[in-house]
Amino acid sequence: MSRFKLYSIFVLLPLLASSAEVTADDQTVSEKQMTFRVTGLFSPDREADLKEVMKELPEIALVRVQFKTSEAVFEFSSALAFPGAKPEQIVERFDNRLRTLTRGTFGIREVCSIPREKLKFVEIPIAGLDCKGCSLAAYETVYRLEGVEQATASFKDRLVTAWINPEKTSRDVLEAALRKRNIPAPADAEN
């Protein structure tokens, strides 16, 4: 191999590797993709809502959304999107920005660390879910409980679903929380 080719490899390779880097305040930062759980993604039509909201955060790109797992992939430069944040503060800062922007209807959490096969799927029929707001209230009631890893609420199907950690919660706990918020299951509505 000629000296010119070797020289080219050693000089150009680092330049090509740094092509995804941006300079901000004399720091070199890399764009990276990260996956987070998205709270507030309680029905498929909320994907469009999330995409619309993300237009308000141009320094964070929404790459893709997976409703089935309530996860989304985002691309951003930590230094530009969250100046001064340590890596362990990114989730909290992102969550705060998204919650503020959406008045608490969307948020960010770390991806579930429990394998899906260790979670239990629960379906609870609900009476009286007749709008998106009612669905949000039912969803938030269930999703905020300890041990609930993912939830949905559909006024069209009149159903709340959840993937739960059975070591931390149960269907009975979810139903009791819904009753406490006056969100009746069909059997409760008949009494």
pLDDT digits (tens, 9 = 90+) for 15-46: 333 334 444 444 444 688 999 999 999 989 89
For 16, residues 6+ apart whose C-beta sits below 8 A from its C-beta are none
* Interior angle at CA 95, CA 63 and CA 161, nearest 5: 80
**Single-letter code of the amino acid located at 8:** S
Q: What is the pLDDT of residues 75-107, one digit of tens each?
A: 999 999 999 999 999 999 999 999 999 999 999
Instruction: Judge whether 123 and 14 are in contact, CB under 8 Å.
Output: no
Sign of CA dihedral 43, 49, 53, 54: positive
Instruction: Judge whether residue 157 has pLDDT over 90.
Output: no
Q: What is the mean pLDDT of the chain?
A: 84
* Interior angle at CA 144, CA 101 and CA 140, nearest 5: 60
Q: Which residues of 113-134 are buried (b: 16+ CB within 10 A; e: fewer)?
A: eeeeeebeebebebebbeebeb
Residue 44: both structure tokens together: 């498929």
Q: Tokens 């990114």 map to which residue? A: 90
Which residues belong to CATH 3.30.70.100 in the chain? 25-109, 116-183
**Single-letter code of the amino acid located at 180:** K
Report the CATH architecture of 116-183: 2-Layer Sandwich (3.30)
The DSSP line for 122-159 is EEEE-S---SHHHHHHHHHHHHTSTTEEEEEEETTTTE
Mean pLDDT for 2-20 is: 41
The bridge status of strand 21-24 relative to strand 27-39 is: antiparallel
* Percent of the chain residues topping a pLDDT of 70: 81
Instruction: Judge whether 151 and 143 are in contact, CB under 8 Å.
Output: yes
Statement: 25-109 belongs to CATH 3.30.70.100: yes
